[in-house]
Amino acid sequence: MHFTFASLRKISLSLIVAGAALAVIAPRVALAEALLVVEADTGKVLQAENATYPWYPASVTKMMTAYVVLKAVKEGRLTLEGTLTVSPVAASQSPSKMGFKPGTLVTVENALHMMMVKSANDMAVVLAEGVAGSVDGFSAQMNQTALRLGMTQTTYVNPNGLPADGQVTSARDLVILARAIIRDLPEFEYFMHTPSIRYGRRVTQNFNKLIGRYPGADGFKTGFICASGYNLVASATRNGRRLIAVVLGSSSGQARAVKAAQLLDRGFADNTLSWLRPSLGTVDNLAPIDASPPNLRDEICNGKRKRPATDEDADTVASNGASSGESPAVTFFTAGLQAPMAKPSELMAAAPAASQPVVVYTGPKKTGAALIAAVAVDEQKQTTKRRGKKSRVAASKPDAAEAKQAGKETKSEAKSEAKSDGKPAAKPKAVRQAHARPDTAPKAAEKPVTAAAKPKAAEKPAEKPAAKPAAKPAPKSSDARPAETKPAGAKPSAAKPAAAAPRG
């Protein structure tokens, strides 16, 4: 094929334009996630990708809420046993939440467990109002604390992380906050890694899938809104060495957990390979990027997610090795240096280790018999609420009672049809098609028909006694028990339909 200079020039220009287009697209792809792994004690950065890019925090905001509340407890301005009241503002928050009515009392300790394990947005507001009197007042305290800690890229607008203009953070700032919790509140760290809670009869596992699955996992918090994607601040300790990993903007709750586990694995293996990598300095020295946070709504939600923003995640698809982001060179070097261990994707897909849920409840602090009684009351509330839902569902289906009555009519029709000619008539089928809820009616009708059909096979001896005319007046009374006390010759065929009738 012959190319002229002009045609070659055109091809070159086309390639340059295509390259420029890819260069514009590339940063967008690169910002799909922000990742950071740091040593908790020293602040040494082991891996960083988009670590100082602004990001929507979602419910990892609750780490700062817990920090401010627990500092108030440590300083004596609040007690864990003290009770707080659920306000109308708190009760109106979007899920995930406990759903308590305004006026409900809850202790600071129980509210913290509910907020950190279930990511309850209403409890975050209850705690905020308990400390500062209002959401705005508490947000101001959160921002003052962030500045004091050196979180220069973070601004808070509310205590729970629900979507709000101006509420931003970065992976760098979240590591700074996690290190502050470890350093300043060691006596309260159990709030950061409680495996599960039990409220009434309902047990809720921690949304942080590393807890109870990843060896040594001991913190911190998950977060999700459509704009942020799935976020996670995690930590784990091995052989006295603690690492903190941050994943922002992942595609699912499962994927963020797998990615965090991969980052931690790599960090723990990094001791022997640190001489191969350039030093990244400490987390405080990472240079902030001045930009707007990426909005991942189209990629993450794209019309599929109809429910309000919540950490609850039904996605169980784990990332495979191809999407792990681990280079072949690192895999080659670390493969022979790590002890054999289950893959992160396998760990995150497994059930969490068995643990005793922390019992949470409404009302003042209780122990012993009083605690057992409080749990029983909460269980009763849940049962009543469930029954109320069922009755409302039944009331919304006006044909439910009609279908039940149809079941009774179908049985009586089947009995009379079977007695007249010994064949199941087509009427039950007609009733089956005529009603919206057929399942109970036909099944209840089938038993009397088959029971009545059996005597027909041996009908010859049954024709002698003139018992059949006496059977027709039986419907006069509501039950067929008198027929059972009649002669023994009146085989159980008449009794079976009568016994089956109440089931419809």
Q: Is the pLDDT of residue 362 over 60?
A: yes
Residue pair 444/504 in contact (Cβ under 8 Å)? The answer is: yes
Find the DSSP H helices in 119-229. Answer: 121-132, 135-149, 171-184
What is the band of 303 on the pLDDT scale with cuts at 50, 70, 90? low
Q: Is the pLDDT of residue 103 over 80?
A: yes
DSSP 283: G
Residue pair 425/417 in contact (Cβ under 8 Å)? The answer is: yes
Q: Give the dihedral sign, CA 459/462/466/470.
A: negative
Report phi then psi at 224, rounded to 5: -155, 130
The CATH number of 25-365 is which of 3.40.710.10, 3.40.50.300, 2.70.50.30, 1.20.970.10? 3.40.710.10
Q: State how far the Cα of 133 lies from the Cα of 72, in Å rounded to an integer.
A: 13
Matching residue, tokens 């931690």: 264
The whole-number pLDDT of residue 461 equals: 45
Domain boundaries, the chain: 25-365, 400-466+489-503
The answer for residues whose C-beta is within 8 angstroms of residue 332's C-beta and 6 or more apart is none
What is the band of 14 on the pLDDT scale with cuts at 50, 70, 90? low
Nearest to 62 by CA among 204, 161, 185: 161
Q: Is the pLDDT of residue 42 over 90?
A: yes
For the sheet with 34-39, list strands across it: 45-49, 34-39, 241-250, 229-238, 217-225
What is the band of 276 on the pLDDT scale with cuts at 50, 70, 90? low
The whole-number pLDDT of residue 6 equals: 57
Q: Give the dihedral sign, CA 321/323/325/328.
A: positive
Q: State how far the Cα of 422 lies from the Cα of 456, in Å rounded to an integer.
A: 6
Nearest to 69 by CA among 141, 164, 119, 120: 141
The whole-number pLDDT of residue 377 equals: 85
DSSP 292: P
Q: Which amino acid is at 118?
A: K
Which has more pLDDT, 343 or 338?
Answer: 343
The whole-number pLDDT of residue 343 equals: 86
Q: State how far the Cα of 170 lies from the Cα of 141, in Å rounded to an integer.
A: 19
What is the band of 36 on the pLDDT scale with cuts at 50, 70, 90? very high
The whole-number pLDDT of residue 351 equals: 85
For residues 319-328, average pLDDT = 35
Q: State how far the Cα of 324 lies from the Cα of 333, in Å rounded to an integer.
A: 16
What is the band of 331 on the pLDDT scale with cuts at 50, 70, 90? very low
Residue pair 153/170 in contact (Cβ under 8 Å)? The answer is: yes
The string of pLDDT tens digits covering residues 363-384 is 999 999 989 888 888 888 888 7
Helix and strand element counts for the chain (H, E): 19, 10
Burial class (CB in 10 A: 0-12, 13-18, 19+), 186: exposed
The whole-number pLDDT of residue 136 equals: 98
The answer for residues whose C-beta is within 8 angstroms of residue 264's C-beta and 6 or more apart is 37, 214, 234, 236, 243, 245
Q: Is the pLDDT of residue 408 over 80?
A: no
Burial class (CB in 10 A: 0-12, 13-18, 19+), 189: middle
For residues 22-27, average pLDDT = 40
The whole-number pLDDT of residue 32 equals: 76
For residues 16-20, average pLDDT = 49
The string of pLDDT tens digits covering residues 62-79 is 999 999 999 999 999 999
The mean pLDDT of the chain is: 76
Q: State how far the Cα of 480 lies from the Cα of 353, in Å rounded to an integer.
A: 57
For residues 346-359, average pLDDT = 87
Nearest to 67 by CA among 167, 174, 171, 197: 174
Q: State how far the Cα of 135 lies from the Cα of 132, in Å rounded to an integer.
A: 8
Active site positions, annotated: 59, 62, 119
Nearest to 86 by CA among 50, 117, 115: 115
For residues 110-123, average pLDDT = 98
The string of pLDDT tens digits covering residues 241-252 is 999 999 999 999
Q: State how far the Cα of 43 lies from the Cα of 178, in Å rounded to an integer.
A: 11
Q: Is the pLDDT of residue 275 over 50?
A: yes
Q: Is the pLDDT of residue 95 over 90?
A: yes
What is the band of 87 on the pLDDT scale with cuts at 50, 70, 90? very high
Query: Nearest 5 degrees, angle CA 443-CA 446-CA 450?
Result: 150
The string of pLDDT tens digits covering residues 431-465 is 343 334 444 443 444 444 444 444 444 444 444 44
Q: State how far the Cα of 70 lies from the Cα of 74, in Å rounded to an integer.
A: 6
The whole-number pLDDT of residue 402 equals: 42
Q: Is the pLDDT of residue 37 over 50?
A: yes
CA 460 → CA 465, 467, 493, distances in Å? Answer: 10, 13, 15
Q: Is the pLDDT of residue 415 over 80?
A: no
Q: Is the pLDDT of residue 139 over 50?
A: yes
Q: Give the dihedral sign, CA 62/64/68/74.
A: positive
Q: State how far the Cα of 407 lies from the Cα of 432, in Å rounded to an integer.
A: 9
DSSP 51: T
Matching residue, tokens 């016994």: 499
For residues 177-185, average pLDDT = 98
The answer for residues whose C-beta is within 8 angstroms of residue 287's C-beta and 6 or more apart is 52
What is the band of 332 on the pLDDT scale with cuts at 50, 70, 90? very low
Q: Is the pLDDT of residue 503 over 70?
A: no
363 DSSP β-pair partners: 106
For residues 134-158, average pLDDT = 98
Q: Is the pLDDT of residue 106 over 60?
A: yes
The answer for residues whose C-beta is within 8 angstroms of residue 321's C-beta and 6 or more apart is 343, 345
Q: Is the pLDDT of residue 29 over 60?
A: no
| pTM of the shown model | 0.68
